């Protein structure tokens, strides 16, 4: 069944989105931000030192500092679900491999995955024991794999001779969401979910829309945030939909690109990457503070 973007607003209502707080203000790019479990610390990547490095800051954007320093490109960090461990990708061995950094021991470990090519977009499962990631087999083919956090029990879960990226477990760990150019003749990306137990696959966004970077909400996975170009948009904005792909609403309304949304632990705000003043910056979108009184916050309880 084809799904369409539902317009939550009447044509007369102004669409101004929600209050935004910009957390980084550098003459360099800052991207891929996410909260730790407590919501007190943010990890992100930045090329402010001439190469991609991993940084942390507090929730106000203060105390920005490298998580560690290296002479390689270290990218796309995300947190362990309940430990002070960050999983990331790095080209320090010639190809892109998956590593973890333990903040308590200040140690870096490679996840020993028995695949020779580039691996990217790694995340921990909610149990902290499994890891999911994208694996490039050819320039135009990227599959999705799972394994243990020690590289064992390697399993291919998405393989369709297309590009499948940005996998993310649901809070229960039974569903994976990702985006793919499958069924669009490679012209755009759309968002799919895959149930690991039943092997059911569902399409969550419409073919004509370019949709990327989906992320489950933390509380029961009831909502999904993502970025998309819909209708005649020239750049991506941030959207939220229910996990059954219904009640899609637009969250940002800007003249520049907004991508890479992630939820706060209590789902009351989003961290996004927005193009601000010539560079990508980390911003926080406050979902309980609409800029327009007619803008309606959906209740998914």
Question: Domain 18-290 is of which CATH architecture?
Answer: 6 Propeller (2.120)
Decide if 236 contacts 259 (C-beta within 8 A).
yes
Query: Rounded distance, CA 143 to CA 129, Å?
Result: 21
For the chain, first and last CA: distance in Å? Answer: 25
Residue 300: predicted pLDDT: 35
Residue 291: predicted pLDDT: 84
Please state the pTM of the whole predicted model.
Answer: 0.90
Is 41 a residue whose pLDDT tops 90?
Answer: yes
Q: Residue 193: how many CB atoms within 10 A of its CB?
A: 22
Residue 150: predicted pLDDT: 96
Residue 46: predicted pLDDT: 98
CA angle at residue 164 from 166 to 83, to 5 degrees? 30
Is 214 a residue whose pLDDT tops 90?
Answer: yes
Domain-by-domain residue ranges, the chain? 18-290
Q: How confident is the model at residue 301 (pLDDT cuts 50, 70, 90)?
A: very low
State pLDDT tens for residues 48-90: 999 999 999 999 999 999 999 999 999 999 999 999 999 999 9
Is 9 a residue whose pLDDT tops 90?
Answer: no
């Amino acid at each position: 069944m084809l799904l369409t973007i539902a317009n939550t607003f009447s044509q007369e209502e102004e669409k101004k989105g929600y209050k935004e707080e910009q957390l980084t203000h550098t003459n360099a790019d800052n991207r891929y931000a996410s909260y730790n479990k407590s919501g007190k610390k943010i990890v992100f990547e930045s090329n402010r030192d001439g190469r991609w490095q991993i940084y942390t800051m507090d929730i106000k954007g203060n105390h920005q500092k490298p998580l560690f320093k290296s002479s390689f490109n270290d990218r796309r960090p995300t947190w362990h679900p309940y430990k002070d461990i960050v999983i990331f990708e790095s080209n320090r061995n010639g190809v892109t491999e998956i590593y973890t950094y333990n903040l308590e021991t200040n140690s870096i470990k490679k996840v020993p995955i028995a695949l020779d090519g580039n691996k990217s977009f790694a995340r921990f499962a909610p149990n902290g024991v499994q890891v999911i990631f994208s694996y490039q087999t050819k320039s135009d083919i990227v599959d999705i794999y799972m394994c243990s956090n020690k590289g064992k029990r390697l399993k291919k879960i998405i393989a369709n001779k297309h590009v499948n990226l940005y996998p993310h477990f649901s809070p229960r760990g039974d569903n994976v969401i990702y985006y793919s150019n499958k069924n669009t003749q490679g012209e755009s990306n759309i968002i799919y979910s895959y149930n690991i137990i039943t092997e059911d696959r569902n399409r969550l966004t419409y073919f004509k829309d370019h949709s990327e970077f989906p992320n489950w909400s933390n509380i029961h996975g009831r909502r999904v945030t993502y970025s998309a170009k819909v209708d005649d948009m020239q750049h991506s904005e941030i959207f939220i939909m229910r996990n059954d792909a219904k009640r899609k609403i637009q969250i940002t309304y800007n003249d520049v690109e907004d991508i890479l949304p992630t939820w706060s632990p209590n789902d009351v705000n989003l961290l996004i990457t927005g193009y601000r003043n010539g560079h990508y910056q980390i911003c926080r979108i406050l979902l309980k503070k609409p800029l327009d009184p007619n803008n309606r916050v959906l209740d998914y309880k």
